[in-house]
Chain A
Amino acid sequence: EDKVVQSPLSLVVHEGDTVTLNCSYEVTNFRSLLWYKQEKKAPTFLFMLTSSGIEKKSGRLSSILDKKELFSILNITATQTGDSAVYLCAVDSNYQLIWGAGTKLIIKP
């Protein structure tokens, strides 16, 4: 059975800290891994990763994929209160998106 596991499930840090969110997966036919940010409403797309070892970067957020060890990390540096959200990881397997439970990130001022 395909599965995606995110850790930690929740995390509280202070503004300015750096955080690392983890996503591991076991799927039958990996095509890509996607990260989303969800605030109060719909998830919004952050990154799509398809190749091992190539970092995707957008401002203070970056992500990398390890297809040998079957995991990805999402890094956020110099965190701000606006980074508070649930971060979701999904893996495209046979054209279906398999979702992790999410990591709830709280940034304290």
Chain B
Amino acid sequence: NAGVTQTPKFQVLKTGQSMTLQCAQDMNHEYMSWYRQDPGMGLRLIHYSVGAGITDQGEVPNGYNVSRSTTEDFPLRLLSAAPSQTSVYFCASRKQGMNTEAFFGQGTRLTVV
């Protein structure tokens, strides 16, 4: 019953470092997305994918890259970390189509110093 698996749970980076947040789902969901959550701001969409090989930008894409080579995996890459990227990151997946709920990973708390 894995659902959406997100790693790591915590990460501290120095300004300018790069890293990849991993996300995998085992529900065969077409739609996957990455959000960041900052205090008082709800969930903001970074990037999303509607299927393998297809990605698109969300509301706050700058400084992040994604790829979707398989249905299961949707990694998020921080190219050159900045303190403004300190946040909690969530990966989510949904079955494509109307009236489907989103399932979330457990989140990654990222601090950039």
Interface residues of B (CB under 8 A from A): 31, 33, 35, 40-45, 48, 50, 90, 94, 96, 98-99, 101-107
Contact = CB atoms under 8 A, between A and B. Distances in A.
A96 interface: yes
B105 to A, nearest CB: 6
Interface string A68-98: 0000000000000000000010101001110
Contacts of B94: 97
Chain A residues touching B, majority SS: strand
B90 A42 contact: yes
Q: How many A residues are at the interface, by size bracket?
A: 20 to 34
Contacts of B33: 97
Given A31-B98, A95-B31, A101 B104 contact: no
B21 to A, nearest CB: 14
Contact of B43 (A9, A92, A99): A99
A104 B106 CA distance: 19
Contacts of A44: 104
Given A41-B107, A42-B106, A42-B107, A96 B45 contact: yes
B104 A42 contact: yes
A90 B45 CA distance: 12
9 contacts: A32-B98, A44-B104, A50-B99, A92-B99, A96-B48, A97-B33, A99-B35, A100-B42, A101-B41
A102 B107 CA distance: 17
Contact of A48 (B43, B50, B101, B105): B101
B98 A88 contact: no
A32 B42 contact: no
A29 to B, nearest CB: 11
Contacts of B103: 45
Interface string A6-24: 0001000000000000000
B15 to A, nearest CB: 27
